[in-house]
Amino acid sequence: MRLSIRRLPARQLLTRRLWTRRLLLLAWLFAGLLAGLCAALPAWAGQACEDKPLAATDAARSLDLALRTVQALDASGAQVALVSRAGQDLGQYGLRYSHMGIVVRDHPAGRWTVVHELNECGTAASALYQEGMGNFFLTDLVRHEAQVVIPGPDAQARLAQLVAGRTPVRLHEPRYNMLSYVFSTRYQNSNQWVLENYAAASAPEGDVATREEAQAWLKAARFSAITVDIPASARLGARMFRANVAFDDHPFERRMAGRIDTVSTDAVVRFVQAVDGAARVIVVE
């Protein structure tokens, strides 16, 4: 089990001082160099593992999205927020975004650092990472669009304090399952990790120190997961050919009925808005 949040020196390519329009122009001018660089980047968090270079035009658009997201965060006055990207097309399930992280303004690793759980490509394992906004969006996006959820001031202060401590590591389960059951600790998906950290920050101090306690608080607060309909044939195929998909943590009756209850970015956003009347949602297009 990993006991620390990992940084990616090879992927720490962007810093605050480089997030300027000049960088975007350079991305276009040095298309060949940028394409070669992006070819070395792995696919993460709910995406297929493909050895496919990111086109220079897509990389430039991703960097532009990162810049505009940072500008929106700066203008908001927030110190911490939840940021989502569209890294996978989930339209058939009525979902617009696939992956969420916690972004912190004054992080030791740099201004507006994203802390998030990522699936190790091609495996059933995950780790925690901290990286700049540019790296967060520098992937094969379905849409160059971001969603930012800014909790109320009190919730922000508690969440910023929590992220600075060891709770994010304690609440991390490295056994990854893209469709993990919302109220089981056997596995975890990346959005579930964000949700459980939000629960720890929102519960009365000292009430949540483990995943079991986080999920108990979420149940009491009436968190509602999304339900994905997956027939038996599709479940069998996914379990046989995808290392990062499992169903054995789901209640037997629900599983046999093809009703898979998991955590999505949309469910997290709805919950934050329900329990925090001061929360705001910003879409960066």
pLDDT at 278: 97
pLDDT, averaged across the chain: 84
Hey, how many other C-beta atoms are within 10 angstroms of the C-beta on 237? 13
Asked if residue 208 has pLDDT above 90, the reply is: yes
Residues near 229 by beta carbon (within 8 Å), at least 6 away in sequence: 258, 259, 260
pLDDT at 13: 32
Mean pLDDT over residues 36-57, rounded? 52
pLDDT at 265: 97
